[in-house]
Amino acid sequence: MRQRKRLKLICSLCEGSGWLCDEHPDLPWSHDDDCEGGGIACRCNELARLPLREVFVDFDALDAGVR
């Protein structure tokens, strides 16, 4: 029986981090310590495409056992 090795594909743009530099979108977010550009999601980052939702929790209600 032959075992197959699984290859882990790494994005060539973000180098597997999932984030690109906002100022230099062809480089990973952590490309240079002197760059102050923010991070933007790479096209390979599927989690960044999820819709954001705000969740507000009433801690007093949780402490009282009310749901």
- Where residue 63 falls among pLDDT bands split at 50, 70, 90? low
Stated pTM of the model:
0.58
Closest CA to 14 of 27, 5, 33, 1: 27
Domain that holds residue 34: 10-47
pLDDT in tens, 30-54: 888 888 888 999 999 887 776 766 6
Is the residue at 62 inside a domain?
A: no
Is the residue at 31 inside a domain?
A: yes
Is the residue at 16 inside a domain?
A: yes
Scored b (16 or more CB within 10 A) or e, 27-65 reads bbbebeeeeeeebeebebeeeeeeeeeeeeeeeeeeeee
Is the residue at 54 inside a domain?
A: no
Give CA–CA dist 58/1, Å, rounded.
Answer: 58
Query: First and final CA of the chain: distance in angstroms?
Result: 55
Is the residue at 30 inside a domain?
A: yes
Is the residue at 23 inside a domain?
A: yes
Is the residue at 60 inside a domain?
A: no
In the 8-state DSSP scheme, what is residue 28?
B
Counted domains in the chain: 1
